[in-house]
Amino acid sequence: MKTNKAILILPELELPTVIEVNDDLATLQKAVGGNIEMYPLDRDGGKFHAYINEDGKMLALPFNPVATAVVEHYWPGFTQGDEINGPFLVLGSGEDGEESDVPQDAIDYIMGLTMDDIAKMV
């Protein structure tokens, strides 16, 4: 088990938080409140990704506007037909597919989002 720098975005319009998280399945499931589903976030070689609750919509978890805006930034057009519900955990992707620290450029972008930025994207 390895500890990595991650970003946790909760749906209650809280600001994203940089945290340290273990990379085992139980910890990832606890962070998102259930079974995990992985979302690749960057198109340039898989440097980072996010986990969501796989059943977030079915369980009627709260809409997560910050997470939805993050996905919209990296995958333009996403918000035209989808949204993120529930917690959103961003981690880096190692060379062999293992979890790693979130890249600094992703931290800088996500942590720099303002409510105005989010409103324009969702």
| Cβ–Cβ < 8 Å for 7, 19 | yes
- Cα–Cα distance, 26 to 54 (Å, whole number): 14
Phi, psi of 74 (to 5 degrees): -85, -25
- Cα–Cα distance, 77 to 46 (Å, whole number): 19
Listed by start position, the domains of the chain span 3-121
- Cα–Cα distance, 4 to 23 (Å, whole number): 7
Task: Write the CB contacts of 112 (distance below 8 Å, at least 6 apart in sequence).
Answer: none
- Residue 8: CB atoms within 10 Å: 17
pLDDT tens per residue across all 122 residues of the chain: 789 999 999 988 678 999 999 989 999 999 999 999 998 887 666 789 999 999 999 999 999 999 999 998 888 888 788 899 999 999 998 888 789 999 999 999 999 988 888 887 77
Task: Write the CB contacts of 14 (distance below 8 Å, at least 6 apart in sequence).
Answer: 66
User: Which DSSP symbol is given to 63?
Assistant: B
